[in-house]
Amino acid sequence: MKALTSLPLVMFLLSGMASPAFAEEAVAPAPHMPLIGEEAPAFTVETTQGTINFPDDYKGKWIILFSHPADFTPVCTTEFMTFATMMPEFEALNTQLVGLSIDSKYSHIAWLRTIREKAEYKDMKDVEVTFPLIEDIKMDVAKKYGMLQPTASTTQAVRAVFFIDPAAKIRAILYYPLSNGRNFDEIKRLLIAMQTSDAFQVATPADWRPGEDVIIPPAGSCGTAKERMEKSGQDDMDCKDWFLCFKKLPKEDVEGATGQL
């Protein structure tokens, strides 16, 4: 009878001893992925171009921070060749490229040497990658930026792209799966579109390219809406309705404002 009486007590005590650990595990917060408009998380790391303090080392520049799953993988190789070949185009747009994978600096160096000496893709060969590639063996940066997605892989970063403006704010985020390479034309197009929006206080429509019409932000009052409709057709402005107004923006103006001229 005593044994039966004490059994519930023992079970209660045991459950009480175990409960804090289970409770702590249950409420552990998930890593926070930085969102559009937030400050870019800062870090100091080793790269193939030496130590960098991010984003402070690139004050006044746009930054494209991008991750890839692993060194010595075929899709990543084609992406790095493309980024490296386009590097002068991004530099003309006042933009710094920074890569990352969960590999050592020595693995990075060996891989980049292989790209330079052996890799060929489309019309690209003898490609030298000179932008920094972050060593992130402990996954510290990948976790800060939400580049690790456990349902895709716990040991590789997905193909994330973070656009960071000169004020160190996250402006856009793109994610691609492990199996598919990025569209670099779109990366450059989006960068130019954001720089154009900043320079001219406009929005850009779907599939916009420099030289095409841009969108004037919607009217904030009835009076402004009426005035826009009355002035439609003047000053290169074309209003389809009070909320949908386009205006001309020459390609030369865009290229001048974004530093391409």
Residues 132 and 184 in one domain: yes
pLDDT of residue 155: 58
Among 76, 222, 239, 245, the active-site one is 76
Query: Which of the 8 DSSP states describes residue 123?
Result: T
Same-domain status, 227 and 253? yes
* Structure confidence at residue 30 (pLDDT): 52
The answer for 158, left when phi > 0, alpha when psi is -120 to 50, beta otherwise, is beta
User: How do strand 95-101 and strand 50-54 relate by DSSP bridges?
Assistant: unpaired
**What integer pLDDT is reported at residue 13 of this predicted model?**
42
My answer on whether 182 and 222 are in the same domain is no
The number of distinct structural domains making up the chain is 2
Residues 242 and 173 reside in one and the same domain: no
63 and 190 together in one domain: yes
Output the six-digit token pair for 152.
Answer: 């895709």
Same domain, 187 and 205: no
CATH of residue 218's domain is 3.30.1020.10
Q: Is 19 a member of any domain? A: no
Distances (CA, A) of 230 to 45, 134, 219, 238, 239: 57, 55, 13, 10, 9
- Residue 77 and residue 121 in contact, taking contact as beta carbons nearer than 8 Å: yes
* pLDDT of res. 227: 80
Do 89 and 110 lie in one domain? The reply is yes
CA angle at 36 for the pair 78 and 244, rounded to the nearest 5°: 100
Predicted confidence at residue 151, as pLDDT, reads 61
Same domain, 188 and 235: no
Q: Phi-psi bin for 216: left (phi > 0), alpha (psi -120 to 50), beta?
A: beta
Domain assignment of residue 240, given as a range: 201-257
CATH of the domain at 174: 3.40.30.10
The verdict on residue 92 lying in a domain is: yes
Tell me how far apart the alpha carbons of residues 158 and 68 are, in angstroms, rounded to a whole number. Answer: 6
pLDDT, position 12: 44
Secondary element (H or E) of residue 195: helix 184-200
Listed residues 168, 194, 220: the one ending a domain: 194
* Residue 60 neighbours by CB under 8 Å, 6+ apart: 94, 166
Please confirm, yes or no, whether 245 is among the known catalytic residues.
no
Local mean pLDDT, 10-residue blocks, the chain (261 residues):
49 44 45 88 97 97 94 95 97 97 93 97 97 94 85 69 97 93 97 98 97 89 79 81 92 93 70
